[in-house]
Amino acid sequence: MSSQPDVSWMAKPAVEKKPARDPVQLVDEIAERHGYVSREAPPPRARRQRRPDDPMQNFTMRLPIADTERFIRYCERERLTYREAFAQLLQHLPE
């Protein structure tokens, strides 16, 4: 027998170490749990690039506000660009 008392019951249990986490990710998770919203800019959206087949020219008009708002509402409702809506209107005119 040994003269030393048995202290094996005092030994700390083996703990598996988890891999270190990214501190930024950890902070983001904590902030999300507490209801904070990120102020980072969202990733840029992909834009459609349409190349017109016909040559282009700028065309500016001064219109009554009521007519302008009506035209814009029409474009939004029909999901048309101003150019597309203008082309549709021209189709109804005699040559």
pLDDT of 5-60, one tens digit each?
Answer: 777 777 777 777 777 788 888 888 898 899 888 788 888 877 766 676 788 888 89
Query: Angle at CA 35, nearest 5°, toward 20 and 46?
Result: 80
| Cα–Cα distance measured from residue 7 to residue 79, given in angstroms and rounded to the nearest whole number | 79
Confidence at residue 17, expressed as pLDDT on a 0 to 100 scale:
76
Tell me whether residue 23 is in a domain: no
- Return the pLDDT at 48: 67
**66 within domain boundaries:** yes
Is 21 within a domain? no
Q: How many domains is the chain built from?
A: 1
Q: Which domain holds residue 82?
A: 61-95
In a domain, 51, yes or no: no
The per-residue pLDDT for 13 is 76
Residues 60, 62: Cα–Cα separation, whole Å: 7
Task: Confirm whether 84 is domain-assigned.
Answer: yes
What are the tokens at 88? 């549709």
pLDDT at residue 63 in the model: 94
Structural domain contains residue 16: no
Q: What is the pLDDT of residues 66-75, one digit of tens each?
A: 999 999 999 9
Q: Is residue 79 part of a domain?
A: yes
